[in-house]
A and B are shown apart, each in its own frame.
Chain A
Amino acid sequence: MSQVEAHPEVDEAKQRLIEAEEEYQRARADDYVARLIRDSVIVDAHRAGLSSRAISELVGDIGQPNVVRARRRAVSRREVVPEGLLSPADALRQSGLSPRAFILAVRAGSLATVEVPGAARAFRVEDVARLRSAS
């Protein structure tokens, strides 16, 4: 038994850290799932005949040119997104890889995917950045 394991307060702190990390990861996944749900609703609306303009008037953070331009000034699309997770398309862009290299990197396990509910996959910003710097 190591010295660290012998101290109950250390074990308690370690457990709190594990729980906090799990909660943090769960919150990030929940954000991503919420976004996926909204994405599917947007697609449904588009298929139902709503125009892109009509959708943009109802959806908060896309399709508003002034907002988009302001956001681009503040945060480049190449930088960290608030949720901490990237969709496959955004991960591809941020990786700086060709689509072929990106697909093969995922297949080979060089770029880990994050499993999120709803049979969707996402990527951690830091993993994509690591792959970009390594390539």
Chain B
Amino acid sequence: MSLGFARPADLPSLTPESDGPVRFTLDETVAIVEDLVRIADGLRHDDREVDAFLIDLVVNRILERAFGGDR
């Protein structure tokens, strides 16, 4: 079944058996963080503070990973 989008050829697919870590490049991580921060700021602007807060928690987790180290 097609999901309607193409996977870049150089990215490995995740099989159902895969339970290892999913790794993103720095570029991908930066793009994800930028999108999430923009979404959180928009939610906060609309006074949806809890939703913005939950998005921020995701950003925190991603940034923690991006900083490196054993965490």
CB distance from B38 to the nearest CB of A (A): 11
Q: Residues of B within 8 Å of A, CB-based: how many?
A: 24
Verify B59–A107 contact, CB threshold 8 A: no
Q: B50 contacts which chain A residues (CB < 8 A)?
A: 42, 52-53, 55-56, 59, 62-63
| A100 with B37, Cβ < 8 A, contacts A56-B49, A65-B47, A68-B49 known | no
CB distance from A112 to the nearest CB of B (A): 12
Q: A65 contacts which chain B residues (CB < 8 A)?
A: 47, 49
Which stretch (B2-10, B11-19, B28-36) binds chain A? B28-36
Of B29, B54, B67, the contact of A42 (CB 8 Å cutoff): B54
Q: A10 contacts which chain B residues (CB < 8 A)?
A: none
Q: B51 contacts which chain A residues (CB < 8 A)?
A: 52
Q: Is there a chain B Cβ closer than 8 Å to A106's Cβ?
A: yes
Q: A103 contacts which chain B residues (CB < 8 A)?
A: 26, 29-30, 63, 66-67
Residues on A facing B (Cβ under 8 Å): 39, 42-43, 46, 52-53, 55-56, 59, 62-65, 68-69, 87-90, 92-93, 98-100, 102-103, 106-107, 113, 119-121
Write 5 A-B pairs (CB below 8 A) sorted by A numbering.
A42-B54, A92-B63, A102-B63, A103-B66, A107-B68
Q: With contacts A42-B53, A52-B54, A113-B67 known, what are 15 further pairs, Cβ within 8 A? A: A39-B53, A62-B53, A64-B49, A68-B49, A88-B63, A89-B57, A89-B63, A90-B56, A92-B33, A92-B63, A98-B30, A99-B63, A100-B26, A107-B67, A121-B71
